[in-house]
Amino acid sequence: MIKDQEYLLEKASYCLDLIKKLGATDSSVIVSNSISETVNFRNKKLDESNRSDNLAVGITTYIGKKKSSISSSNLSKENLNTLIEKCIETTKNTPEDEFNSLPDKDLLAKEVKDLDLYDDTHINNEDKIQYLTKLEVSASSNKKIINTESSFTEDKSNFILANSDGFCKGYKDSSFVASSVTVAKDDKSMERDYEYTGKCHLDDIIDADVLGKLAAEQTIRKLSPKKIGSEKISLIFDKRIAKGILGTFASAIASSAISRGTSFLKDKINHKIFSDKINIMDKPDILKGLGSRSFDNEGVRSDTLRLVEQGVLKHYLIDTYNGKKLNQRSNGRCGGTSNLYFENGDISYKDLLNSNSKCLYITETIGHGSNIVTGDYSVGASGFLIENGEFKHPINEITIAGNFRDMFQNITLANDLEFKYSTNSPTMMIEGMVVAGK
């Protein structure tokens, strides 16, 4: 059973009191407990079952502008005493940094919103096995499927974040995640694909039969891919690939990258970096949202940010330390974004497919080809050739390339946004991309 708030609070309070007695001027403590249970299947047989129960404390101490941190999974009083003494001693010997400090008091969250992030339902191993058995049968029903892997994970967690300025809050959350990976083969190729479902509440995940069928269908349709030549062409990115482009944008507007000068979006606040129709939101208060939260990793209140409005960049993602470097206040984004998404475009998915007589639909990218310093983008990819709105045949072994400065200006979004992950995008088209083929 997950540790309750009273237990976590007791440990955090003990640490704060001792840290103060030992001479720290400021401090913060996070105490957390997480329990994870996973069952894995391979080719319709139970492959592995495991459970982990993690209890941890993270301590940060300040002496003036000196700062150090320490962590442990041993929460006994004797070990906490030793940890705190070591942390204090390390802090004394650490060089000063003028930007070290706790968050401004007036920015700290005053309440923990009820965002319905916790489901106390426990699904035992037998029920997990039953779910995966159905999933595997569904996924392997077509003879072209030669290999299947699936998993079911249930996570529960609870934490308390407290600091010497009086902040002391935390909350429980949960997740139920199932995935199906399938391998298909015909006389010309062997292909692999997957499908996934993850929600805070058990009742919201996809049915096992449906999940397995989707994974199999997506894999089989990739069989017998063809090569294509090199050209400049419009690309349509499947939603699970498009969200990766949005994730790169988030990395480029992180205050750590901005303060170091290692982002192509440095000094771009109030500049137009997308087309007029593009709006990007980071919304932390979505009910049951996978990225939802009331405050960030420092306790700073997380409010909704319209990061991009009609193509214009309005905010960076700012934490306390890097914000001070930039002479800006934290906007509750220590640790990154919450529920990040492009707002829907004004064109349907079908009309997006028909917007060009010929384009490529990208379903998979290979490699980490996003350079946030220069804005260059180059990755291996596979997908489908589309002609006059129709999927003609799968394609593979291509490289797609561009620069985000140009790519952002040439994005068109469909109106099919779904909140499946913590970062989400509608289907995305980018015109004028360079494709290197055979």
Residue 1 pLDDT > 90: no
**Per-residue pLDDT, 417:** 98
**Per-residue pLDDT, 40:** 97
User: Which residue segment(s) compose the domain that 132 sits in?
Assistant: 5-220
Type of residue found at 126:
E
**Per-residue pLDDT, 437:** 84
Residue 174 pLDDT > 90: yes
- Residue at a domain's end among 188, 220, 252: 220
Residue 438 pLDDT > 80: no
Q: Are 121 and 28 found together in one domain?
A: yes
User: What share of the chain in percent tops pLDDT 90?
Assistant: 98
- Residue at a domain's end among 220, 243, 262: 220
- Give the separation between CA 124 and CA 237, rounded to whole angstroms: 38
Count of domains forming the chain: 2
Tell me if 359 sits within 8 A of 429, measured CB to CB. yes
Q: Are 266 and 203 found together in one domain?
A: no
Tell me if 162 sits within 8 A of 28, measured CB to CB. yes
- Give the separation between CA 74 and CA 82, rounded to whole angstroms: 11
- Give the separation between CA 314 and CA 309, rounded to whole angstroms: 7
**Per-residue pLDDT, 302:** 96
Its pTM stands at 0.95
Going from the C-alpha of 415 to that of each of 75, 343, 426, the distances in angstroms are: 49, 8, 6
Residue positions counted in the chain: 438
Residue 10 pLDDT > 80: yes
**Per-residue pLDDT, 323:** 97
Q: Residue 189's domain is classified under what CATH number? A: 3.30.2290.10
pLDDT tens-digit readout, 113-155: 999 999 999 999 999 999 999 999 999 999 999 999 999 999 9
pLDDT tens-digit readout, 46-103: 999 999 999 999 999 999 999 999 999 999 999 999 999 999 999 999 999 999 999 9
Q: Are 199 and 229 found together in one domain?
A: no
**Per-residue pLDDT, 48:** 94
Q: Are 11 and 66 found together in one domain?
A: yes
Residue with tokens 């962590």: 71
Q: Are 232 and 362 found together in one domain?
A: yes
**Per-residue pLDDT, 253:** 98
Q: Are 57 and 185 found together in one domain?
A: yes
- Give the separation between CA 370 and CA 408, rounded to whole angstroms: 13
pLDDT tens-digit readout, 230-261: 999 999 999 999 999 999 999 999 999 999 99
Tell me if 116 sits within 8 A of 289, measured CB to CB. no
Helix, strand, coil % over all residues of the chain, rounded to 5: 25, 40, 40
Neighbours of 262 (CB within 10 A): 14
- Residue at a domain's end among 190, 220, 250: 220
- Give the separation between CA 217 and CA 182, rounded to whole angstroms: 9
Q: Closest Cα partner for 242 from 162, 152, 344, 338? A: 344
Tell me if 291 sits within 8 A of 199, measured CB to CB. no
Q: Closest Cα partner for 274 from 238, 313, 244? A: 313
